[in-house]
Amino acid sequence: MAKRGGYAGGMPGNMNNLMKQAQRMQKQMEESTKALEEMTFEASAGGGAITVTVSGKKEVLSVKLAPEVVDPDDIETLEDLIVAATNEAFRKMEETSQNEMAKITGGLGGLGGGFPF
């Protein structure tokens, strides 16, 4: 006679628990993703001369420019500041996303838990 939870009677008890945990984790990840999509992230460059706001959906929501940074003779600096602020806002969004997912996965390093599949 096989032990309870053994292979002879169906799924092992540990496998059943693992499936339940995986379902809970998936639901938590979906909820966290939805919450992150509703968040906004802001970053500035040039000592606050430029501020960019992005959403958790990876969309640029706004770009604010201080009047003194708009110099028709120096468009390159303005462009560089916009790129820097935008990249920093996206970096903040990504960092928050990774931290939230790490809370759910227990820092296992991704959906595969560090396994190669």
State the pTM of this model.
Answer: 0.69
Angle, CA 26 vertex, CA 9 and CA 110 arms, to 5°: 105
Q: Any idea how long the chain is?
A: 117
- Residue 31 above 50 pLDDT? yes
CA distance 18 to 11: 11
Mean of per-residue pLDDT scores for the chain: 84
Task: Kindly report, residue by residue over 39-53, the tens digit of the pLDDT.
Answer: 999 999 999 999 999
Which of 14-23, 29-38, 88-97 has maximum average pLDDT? Answer: 88-97
